[in-house]
């Protein structure tokens, strides 16, 4: 076995990468990561230099990780700006750093897929060697699996927790079956919100695969920009990314669209995996009451139930998700900090933060609206 670094996932064989990463997670697919790189979204010019790390035995790919040398901390959703600022004020240089991640995608999953434990161990050692030989400040593995988080902790990485909101589908027959598990007040709230959208005159439809046609994802661009502008954010993603998703991943895209006559007024973009529907990006050109909840949450729940998916992942932020049945779940990241002083300070901070996250999760669990709490799907 040997460890090496390539010029990004796009430079690797697609079949070999996908056999290793598996078909369940659309975001770790060669198509998605390549689209990020080749569209110019995650590229050297935007501060994301692609450096995929692999372990091989001859021509056989045994382990891999999407790695980026980064000159900033934007687009990661595991925030370390405070760490960078503290190191800078102490005279250090935090950037560039190494990041193992799916760019701009706060979706949990495997970040170090490997065919054997030995291959994963060599991959982690190789990443450690990268950090030491390059002299960079740190190595971050974000939104990894719990098993990877545990293994990295045992290897000396600092461990961090976060929170997201996921809805469990234990086998609901339909949306009404889901509603019947909620307290009466929450059932009434959701019915009222859905009735307001239904009576608005808007036509809401769900498109996937061939139904998307050649231009629907290209036309999504202004809706993405509308969301960026409302949040005073940066447009991380390029228009070409959406075009590429339409060409190479249309069968993994589930688009909820609202039209006023022939004019599209709002869109919610989801990707589907083997066991989950992943809500990604929402955009609206006009304000309609409760339309965000309808497209992003209720239509996603309906689609997941209809297709037998055990989970809907709505991502981070927004206590309003809890009131609509989305439960708080832990997310995991691991961090190797080269400077001993900075490492010790961050370790103390993370110990406090982990305790606070667990307390917050318990409080949010207590606020869930279920009269009869569904068991998580197997």
Q: How many angstroms separate the CA atoms of 73 and 84, rounded?
A: 9
378: pLDDT strictly greater than 60: no
179: pLDDT strictly greater than 60: yes
The pLDDT value recorded for residue 357 is 97
Q: 2-162+330-366 with 171-309: one CATH topology?
A: yes
**Into which CATH architecture does domain 171-309 fall?**
3-Layer(aba) Sandwich (3.40)
Angle between helices 30-38 and 14-21 (to 10 degrees): 130
Q: How many angstroms separate the CA atoms of 300 and 305, rounded?
A: 9
Helical H segments across the chain, by residue range: 14-21, 30-38, 81-89, 117-134, 146-154, 175-179, 184-198, 221-230, 239-248, 291-293, 299-306, 340-366
Mean pLDDT of the chain: 95
The pLDDT value recorded for residue 239 is 96
The pLDDT value recorded for residue 375 is 63
Its pTM stands at 0.95
Instruction: Return the exposure string of 153-185: e unless at least 16 CB atoms fall within 10 Å of the residue's CB, then b.
Output: eeeebbbbbbebbbbbbeebeebeebbebbeee
pLDDT band at 155 (very low <50, low <70, confident <90, very high): very high
Element (H, E) at 154: helix 146-154
> Would you say 139 and 336 are in contact if contact means Cβ atoms under 8 Å apart?
yes
The pLDDT value recorded for residue 119 is 97
Q: What is the pLDDT of residues 50-94, one digit of tens each?
A: 999 999 999 999 999 999 999 999 999 999 999 999 999 999 999
> Would you say 196 and 220 are in contact if contact means Cβ atoms under 8 Å apart?
no
Q: Locate 359 and state its tokens.
A: 């307390």
Domain boundaries, the chain: 2-162+330-366, 171-309
Q: What is the pLDDT of residues 283-329, one digit of tens each?
A: 999 999 999 999 999 999 999 999 999 999 998 777 889 999 999 99
175: pLDDT strictly greater than 50: yes
pLDDT band at 234 (very low <50, low <70, confident <90, very high): confident
In this structure, which CATH number among 3.90.199.10, 3.40.30.10, 3.40.630.30, 3.30.10.20 belongs to the domain 2-162+330-366? 3.40.630.30
Q: Which residue is listed with tokens 């606020």?
A: 367
pLDDT above 70 as % of the chain? 98
Average pLDDT over residues 358-370: 95
Q: Which residue is listed with tokens 């318990």?
A: 362
145: pLDDT strictly greater than 90: yes
Handedness of CA 212, 215, 218, 221 (dihedral sign): negative
Look at 11-15, 195-199, 226-230 and tell me which has the smallest mean pLDDT.
Answer: 226-230
> Would you say 147 and 96 are in contact if contact means Cβ atoms under 8 Å apart?
no
* CA proximity to 105, closest of 126, 124, 77, 132: 77
The pLDDT value recorded for residue 329 is 95
Q: How many angstroms separate the CA atoms of 169 and 155, rounded?
A: 35
204: pLDDT strictly greater than 90: yes
Residue 297 DSSP class: I
């Amino acid at each position: 076995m040997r460890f090496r670094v390539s010029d990004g996932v796009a430079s690797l064989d697609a079949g070999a990468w996908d056999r290793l990463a598996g078909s369940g997670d659309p975001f770790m697919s060669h198509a998605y990561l390549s689209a990020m790189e080749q569209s110019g979204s995650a590229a050297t010019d935007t501060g994301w230099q692609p450096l995929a790390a692999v372990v091989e035995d001859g021509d056989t790919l045994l382990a891999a990780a999407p790695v980026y040398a980064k000159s900033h901390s934007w687009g990661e959703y595991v925030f370390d700006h405070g760490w960078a600022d503290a190191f800078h004020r102490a005279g250090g240089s935090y950037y560039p750093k190494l990041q193992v991640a799916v760019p701009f995608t706060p979706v949990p999953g495997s970040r170090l897929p490997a065919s054997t434990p030995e291959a994963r161990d060599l991959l982690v050692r190789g990443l450690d060697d990268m950090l030491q030989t390059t002299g960079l400040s740190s190595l971050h593995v974000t939104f990894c699996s719990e098993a990877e988080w545990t293994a990295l902790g045992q290897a000396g990485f600092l461990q961090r927790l976060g929170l997201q909101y996921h809805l469990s589908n234990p086998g609901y027959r339909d949306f009404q079956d889901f509603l019947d598990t909620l307290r009466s007040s929450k059932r009434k709230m959701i019915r009222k919100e859905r009735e307001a959208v239904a009576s608005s005159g808007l036509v809401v439809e769900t498109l996937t695969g061939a139904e998307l046609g050649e231009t629907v994802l290209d036309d999504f661009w202004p809706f993405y920009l509308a969301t960026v502008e409302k949040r005073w954010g940066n447009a991380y993603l390029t228009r070409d990314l959406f075009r590429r998703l339409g060409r190479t991943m249309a069968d993994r895209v589930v688009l909820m669209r609202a039209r006023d006559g022939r004019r599209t007024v709002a869109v919610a973009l989801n990707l589907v995996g083997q066991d989950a529907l992943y809500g990604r990006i929402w955009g609206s050109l006009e304000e309609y009451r409760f339309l965000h909840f309808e497209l992003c949450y209720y239509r996603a729940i309906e689609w997941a139930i209809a297709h037998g998916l055990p989970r809907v992942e709505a991502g981070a932020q927004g206590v309003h998700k809890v009131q609509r049945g989305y439960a708080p779940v832990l997310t995991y990241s691991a961090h190797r900090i080269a400077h001993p002083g900075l490492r010790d300070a961050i370790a103390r901070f993370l110990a406090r933060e982990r305790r606070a996250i667990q307390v917050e999760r318990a409080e949010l669990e207590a606020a869930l609206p279920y009269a009869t709490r569904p068991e998580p799907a197997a």
